């Protein structure tokens, strides 16, 4: 049976003449190589179609966490190394084609879209910014300085002792609500401020503490496409935010450059 094609990414054909780094493929045996498809070049490796059948992959992905972590790490590291050499549209983990004909059809059909993606990401880098907050500290600040909460406190003070007990429970919920609103307001203001340095900026879903392993809550998870010429001022601006906001319970984590997963698709 014909081998499967495992894809890591797609690059402009004019960059396909550069030497590939010496990297092993998904099975750890064969090497990665290039496949020219018109104006696009695919970076791929071969996989035995029986050993890596659809059923086998589903079984491994669903039931073998050690294998999944190893292979996902291999894919990520390979794409990351390639992104430092080429203008690459990175492909998702376990992107497979049955043969070169099916690959050719898919690439040819999406050629215009891919060329636009190359134009967008060429000379630019993807960076991620996660913002964390110390909610205990921020809650104290909000409860002492928020006009809405101050007004509610004054209202409660005018009530009888019995009514005050129930209204104070409502006050706690109001403080939580105002805290979330304040965190979003500040994070969005930072996001807008950073857009001065970026070509595009998008917001992703924030992670829970169980995922991050941190005591602070993630309040923002932004991803940015930044020109290589503006990466330094972009990072300096983040450092300025951290310097002035650290004492108020805010922490910033900028990471990159990453393959442009969030600004390309195939």
Q: Binning pLDDT at 50, 70 and 90, where does residue 142 land?
A: low
The domain limits of the chain are 4-122, 125-263
Q: Which of 169, 130, 131, 137 is nearest to 152 (CA)?
A: 169
Is residue 155 pLDDT above 80, yes or no?
no
Structure tokens at 99: 């043969």
Q: Binning pLDDT at 50, 70 and 90, where does residue 137 land?
A: confident
Is residue 166 pLDDT above 90, yes or no?
no
C-alpha radius of gyration, the chain, whole number: 25
Q: How far is CA 232 from CA 91, 235, 237, 238, 261, in A?
A: 27, 5, 9, 10, 21
Q: How far is CA 85 from CA 31, 41, 81, in A?
A: 17, 14, 7
* Distance, CA of 209 to CA of 218 (rounded, Å): 8
Structure tokens at 171: 């006050």
β-sheet with 33-37: strand ranges across: 33-37, 40-47, 4-12, 89-97
Q: Binning pLDDT at 50, 70 and 90, where does residue 209 land?
A: confident
State residue 179's pLDDT score: 80
* Distance, CA of 80 to CA of 93 (rounded, Å): 13
Kindly report which listed range (13-17, 121-125, 150-154, 192-196) carries the lowest average pLDDT score: 150-154
State residue 223's pLDDT score: 97
Q: Which of 183, 189, 190 is nearest to 237 (CA)?
A: 190
Which residues have CB under 8 Å from 120's CB, separation 6+?
199, 225, 263, 264
* Distance, CA of 46 to CA of 25 (rounded, Å): 7
Is residue 197 pLDDT above 80, yes or no?
yes
Q: Binning pLDDT at 50, 70 and 90, where does residue 124 land?
A: very high
Q: What DSSP state is assigned to residue 205?
A: P
What average pLDDT is seen over the chain? 89
SS3 at position 54: helix
- Ramachandran quadrant class, 161 (left: phi over 0; alpha: psi -120 to 50; beta: rest): alpha
* Distance, CA of 182 to CA of 198 (rounded, Å): 25
State residue 8's pLDDT score: 98
State pTM to two decimals. Answer: 0.84
State residue 72's pLDDT score: 96
* Distance, CA of 45 to CA of 34 (rounded, Å): 8
Span 7-27, average pLDDT: 93
Q: Binning pLDDT at 50, 70 and 90, where does residue 176 land?
A: confident
């Amino acid at each position: 049976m014909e081998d499967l094609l495992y894809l890591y990414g797609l690059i402009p054909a004019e960059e396909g003449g550069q030497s590939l780094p010496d990297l092993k493929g998904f099975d750890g045996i064969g090497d990665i190589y290039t496949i020219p498809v018109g104006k696009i070049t695919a970076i791929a490796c071969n996989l035995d179609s029986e050993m890596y059948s659809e059923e086998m992959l589903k079984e491994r992905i669903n039931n073998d966490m050690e294998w999944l972590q190893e292979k996902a790490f291999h894919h990520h590291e390979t794409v990351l190394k390639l992104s430092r050499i080429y203008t690459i549209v990175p492909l998702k983990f376990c992107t497979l084609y049955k043969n070169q004909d099916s690959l050719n059809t898919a690439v040819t059909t999406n050629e215009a879209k891919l060329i636009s993606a190359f134009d967008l990401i060429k000379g630019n880098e993807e960076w991620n910014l996660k913002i964390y907050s110390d909610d205990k500290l921020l809650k104290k600040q909000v409860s002492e300085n928020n006009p809405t909460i101050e007004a509610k406190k004054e209202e409660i003070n005018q009530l009888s002792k019995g009514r005050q007990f129930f209204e104070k429970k409502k006050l706690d919920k109001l403080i939580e609500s105002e805290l979330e609103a304040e965190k979003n307001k500040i994070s969005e203001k930072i996001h807008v401020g950073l857009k001065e340095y970026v070509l595009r900026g998008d917001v992703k879903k924030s992670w829970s503490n169980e995922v991050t392993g941190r005591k602070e809550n993630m309040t923002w998870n932004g991803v940015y496409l930044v020109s290589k010429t503006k990466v330094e001022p972009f990072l300096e601006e983040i450092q300025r935010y951290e310097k002035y906001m650290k004492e108020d319970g805010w922490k910033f984590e900028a990471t990159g450059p990453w393959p442009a997963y969030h600004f390309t698709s195939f």
